[in-house]
């Protein structure tokens, strides 16, 4: 478990003390501790220090209690979290993305927390348009929502796994890590410092977090890494992908076909060239070229997609056709974002099973022994879509 900590007027090192029992601020009673130094090459606009503490050798399915300290002085209140179980207990996650700083986003966060997920998977675009160091207050608002609203019913912190999106990068696509001033500094994930990585949730579930062309190209090193990882996981029954730009977008076009050119002309006439240019997604096309053959060949179970800000569920797809052993594509973001797009792709393609615009929602994912159950849930708790997928062994 990684603790990402922001410290004000703290020293260059802080320590996390932890145990399976709570000892509040009595530091000497904790049998485990880890110390981390603040990032020395990062100068925050308000002078805060950023720390990343890796808590290792944890038992699965266990609640841990801890507290932070600076030179023996407790910092803040005690915290707790639960590790992912590995004893066959059903796994339960919340998944979403395109998280605008809005009232709707806060309401969705509160509803998600009330369901007590084991982790929350997020697919990019957090506070909108934070393209420079001066926008850190938008991130502070976002982090406040997490600390105030995303705790389980017993007060436990709910772990996050975050993919990168275009709103985390100055320029959106095709940039270097230096153009993402907060994402990599605020969230140390998988101990790699890369925009793509994989995580295991027990022995039956593997998650692949990917970069859809923001600071790492789809092909090249990332493609080779993904293929190697999927080969190694040939016996893992549930393989999940998490990334931002969809391979099967609900709004944009992944290819410049006759339908695209026809609609482009209409939109250009009524809305202008700038709006019309947004109809085509080069990154969706690149994802299809570099990733889709791997998803099909190695049996990706489900891919969580975002960016188009509409509810989308495809049929089970493999090699371009409906297949009971194919991949399910769920999306396309809507965690409080401004819903400005209509999911028009249902008029042009047969591979969608559900499309719905104008909804703020997240997905829940329950992984049981034989099936995976997905539900799209609104802030009121209403289930607006549901699908059951067989678990393959």
Contact in structure between 156 and 113 (CB atoms under 8 Å): no
Structural domain boundaries of the chain?
Answer: 2-82, 91-390
pLDDT grade for 381, boundaries at 50, 70 and 90: very high
Q: What is the mean pLDDT of the chain?
A: 93
pLDDT at 271: 86
Q: Against a cut of 0.75, is the pTM above it?
A: yes
**For the segment 16-61, what is each residue's pLDDT rounded down to a tens digit?**
999 999 999 999 999 999 999 999 888 899 999 999 999 998 999 9
301-323 pLDDT, tens digit per residue, is 999 999 999 999 999 999 989 99
Instruction: Encode pLDDT of 136-159 as tens digits.
Output: 999 999 999 988 888 998 999 999
Is the pLDDT confidence value at 216 over 90? yes
CATH no. for 91-390: 3.60.21.10
Question: For the segment 335-361, what is each residue's pLDDT rounded down to a tens digit?
Answer: 988 876 789 898 888 999 999 999 999
Q: What is the pLDDT of residue 88?
A: 85
pLDDT value at residue 190: 84
**pLDDT reported for residue 131:** 74
Residue 274 confidence (pLDDT): 87
Of the chain, the percentage scoring pLDDT greater than 70 comes to 99
- pLDDT category at 127 given cuts 50, 70, 90 is confident
pLDDT band at 220 (very low <50, low <70, confident <90, very high): very high
pLDDT of residue 392: 66
Which pLDDT does position 387 carry in this prediction? 98
Give the model's pLDDT for residue 62: 96
Band the pLDDT of 100: cuts 50, 70, 90. confident
Position 96 scores a pLDDT of: 96
Does residue 393 carry a pLDDT above 60?
no
């Amino acid at each position: 478990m990684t603790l990402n900590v922001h410290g004000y007027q703290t020293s260059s090192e802080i320590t996390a003390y932890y145990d399976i029992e709570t000892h509040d601020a009595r530091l000497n009673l904790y049998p485990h501790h880890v110390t981390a130094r603040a990032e020395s090459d990062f100068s925050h606009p308000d002078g805060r220090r950023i720390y990343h503490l890796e808590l290792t050798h944890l038992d699965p399915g266990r609640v841990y209690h801890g507290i932070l300290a600076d030179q023996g002085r407790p910092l803040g209140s005690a915290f707790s979290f639960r590790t992912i179980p590995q004893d066959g207990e059903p796994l339960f996650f919340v998944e979403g993305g395109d998280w605008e700083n809005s009232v709707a986003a806060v309401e969705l966060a509160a509803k998600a927390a009330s369901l007590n997920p084991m982790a929350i998977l997020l697919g990019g675009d957090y506070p909108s348009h934070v393209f420079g160091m001066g926008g850190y207050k938008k991130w502070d608002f976002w982090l406040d929502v997490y600390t105030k609203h995303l705790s389980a019913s017993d007060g436990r912190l709910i772990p996050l796994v975050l993919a990168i999106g275009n709103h985390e990068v100055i320029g959106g696509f095709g940039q270097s890590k230096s153009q993402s001033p907060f994402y990599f500094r605020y969230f140390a994930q998988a101990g790699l410092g890369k925009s793509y990585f994989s995580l295991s949730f027990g022995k039956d579930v593997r998650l692949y977090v990917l970069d859809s062309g923001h600071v790492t190209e789809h092909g090249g090193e990332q493609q080779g890494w993904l293929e190697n990882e999927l080969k190694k996981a040939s016996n893992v029954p549930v393989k999940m992908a998490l990334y931002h730009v969809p391979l099967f977008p609900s709004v944009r076009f992944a290819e410049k076909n006759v339908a695209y050119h026809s609609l482009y002309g209409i939109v250009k006439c009524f809305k202008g060239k700038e709006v019309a240019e947004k109809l085509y997604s080069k990154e969706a096309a690149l994802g299809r070229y570099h990733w889709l053959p791997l998803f099909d060949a190695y049996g990706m179970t489900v891919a969580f997609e975002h960016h188009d800000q509409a509810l989308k569920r495809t049929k089970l797809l493999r090699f371009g056709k409906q297949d009971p052993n194919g991949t399910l594509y769920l999306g396309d973001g809507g965690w409080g974002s401004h819903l400005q797009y209509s999911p028009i792709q249902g008029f042009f393609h047969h591979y969608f099973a559900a499309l719905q615009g104008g909804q703020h929602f997240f997905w829940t994912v329950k992984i049981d022994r034989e099936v995976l159950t997905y539900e799209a849930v609104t802030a009121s708790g209403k289930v607006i879509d549901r699908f059951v997928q067989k678990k393959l062994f």
